[in-house]
A and B are shown apart, each in its own frame.
Chain A
């Protein structure tokens, strides 16, 4: 357990000192979302109806941007070999790395989301639902993304490959997250959608690290 925090602490420190990665993700998120009012025109009806979809699709793409850096740095400088030779389950360390990745990329997006939702005229009643779906959905994205990032280690053009691999897996999260926000905007119950999002997270939490570890061991062989 202490090792988990050691890894989180180190990855947070690396991200803060390098800085660019997490800024890039939240910057991409903000810029892309602000493009939509320009592209679609300032009609508030249209924006209001598409707000949930725009926010979620953009969040999804933004979270993928930094995925290829998740293990690549450790792979290139030999750290990954040493991580696999730690006297603890590698799954724990992987969860630590994913947690640090979520804290540095998804959390800033989460903070920017309400402001952007305002920009898109999202119905006020849907704000809590939007935040809860992001809170439940983005960790699932990070977990699934880690599998893809581990699988493409050592491949050329890994960034493109990882999107092809994991975008289809993101679809269920997208459907239920947008469904929840839309339901809330129309004053319908959101419980069902949120429960499914929670279920997806609970399923990904043990399964994704297992698959990630298998891929990482393959990569260092």
Chain B
């Protein structure tokens, strides 16, 4: 598997505001093909907000995102086509089977998804025996594995994962690490936030606490 549309993903001077609160500012990074970005920080430091911002779900209060030389933001659909976003929720429909759930998201991302790719994605997260099980019978960890299987069911170079290890057992975590390594070996990029230990060799570490606004700046918003 390799990606046709791949370029460095960069951010310059990003700031994020939620309500009245400035969460971080002046944040920048550069993610080369095969690169990985590990977001660390305490609760509320803006890890999830940053990932949502990178996905295009949130608009930055300041700063710009670049895909290669293009600015991201004008071409919403093009950006959506090159990323997978995994949030806190697994988007599993209780009355659809595991296979139907996965097939829907894959087809939406890539209408020409072949059935073999669905089978491969299910097998990669050890979901093949559960393929015909309805979503409501899955455990939290199984739902999370199904959400992760979306990453493989439709290829996209940029993976934005918000605490992907929540609910996973040791074996599944090891599978996830292997899949992340394979994705990067094929030239893909990963940005993920975590409180657990996920092996990401050579990842750039972004401490969100470093970009928190100082007390005077926070006061400045009120004045």
Listed in ascending order, the chain A residues whose CB lies under 8 Å from chain B are: 2-3, 6-7, 10, 13-14, 17-18, 73, 77-79, 81-89, 93, 220-221
Q: A139 CB to closest chain B CB, in angstroms?
A: 24
Query: Would you call A85 and B100 a contact (CB within 8 A)?
Result: no
CB of B80 to closest CB in A, whole Å = 5
Tell me which residues across on chain B come within 8 A of A86, comparing CB atoms.
77, 80, 108-109
Q: How far apart sit A88 and B76, CA to CA, in the bound complex (Å)?
A: 9
Report if B205 contacts A (CB, 8 A). Answer: no
List 3 tightest A-B contacts by C-beta distance, closest first: A78-B89, A87-B81, A2-B111
Closest to B143 in A: A77
* Given known A85-B55, A89-B77, A220-B57, contact A14–B93 (CB-CB < 8 A): yes
Would you give the 0/1 interface string for B31-64, flagging 1 where the beta carbon is closer than 8 Å to chain A? 0000000000000000000000001111100000
- Which residues of chain B (83-136) have a CB below 8 Å from chain A? 83, 85, 87-93, 95-96, 100, 104-105, 107-109, 111
Q: How many A-B residue pairs have CB under 8 A?
A: 70
Extra inter-chain contacts (12) besides given A79-B93, A221-B57, A221-B58, CB under 8 Å: A2-B111, A3-B111, A6-B111, A13-B95, A73-B93, A78-B87, A81-B91, A85-B56, A86-B80, A86-B108, A87-B77, A88-B77
Cβ-defined contact, A10 with B104, below 8 A: yes
B90 and A78 form a contact (CB under 8 A): yes
Q: Which of these, B56, B77, B90, B100, contacts A77 with CB under 8 Å?
A: B90
List B contacts of A13 (CB < 8 A).
Answer: 95-96, 100
Q: Does B78 contact A (CB under 8 A)?
A: yes
Which residue of A is nearest B111, CB measured?
A: A2
B interface vs A, CB < 8 Å? 55-59, 77-78, 80-81, 83, 85, 87-93, 95-96, 100, 104-105, 107-109, 111
Q: Which of A2, A81, A83, A85 contacts B83 (CB 8 A)?
A: A85
Nearest-Cβ distance from residue B92 to partner chain A, whole angstroms? 7
Q: Are A6 and B87 in contact (CB under 8 A)?
A: no
Given contacts A2-B107, A89-B77, contact A82 B91 (CB under 8 A): yes
Contacts of A6 in B (CB 8 A): 104, 107-108, 111
Counting chain A CB atoms within 10 Å of each CB, which of B59, B78, B87 scores highest? B87
Tell me the bound Cα distance from A66 to B131 in angstroms: 31
Q: Are A17 and B89 in contact (CB under 8 A)?
A: no
A13-B100, A85-B83, A86-B80 as given contacts; A3 in contact with B57, CB under 8 Å: no
Partner of B80, one of A10, A14, A73, A85: A85
Residues of B within 8 A of A220 (CB): 57
* B91:A77 contact, CB within 8 angstroms: yes
Q: Which residue of B lies closest to A220 (CB)?
A: B57
Jot down 7 A-B pairs with beta carbons below 8 A, ordered by A. A6-B107, A10-B96, A18-B95, A77-B92, A81-B91, A82-B85, A85-B80
Cα A83 to Cα B111 in complex, Å, equals 14
Given the complex, which residues of B lie within 8 Å of A77, measured CB to CB?
Answer: 89-93
Q: Which residues of A contact B87 (CB under 8 A)?
A: 78, 81
> Least Cβ distance of A52 to chain B in Å?
38
Give B209 Cβ to nearest chain A Cβ, in Å: 24
Determine the distance from Cα of A3 to Cα of B77 in the docked complex, in whole angstroms.
13
CB distance from B208 to the nearest CB of A (A): 19
A81 near B57: Cβ-Cβ < 8 Å: yes
Whether the Cβ atoms of B96 and A3 lie closer than 8 Å is: no
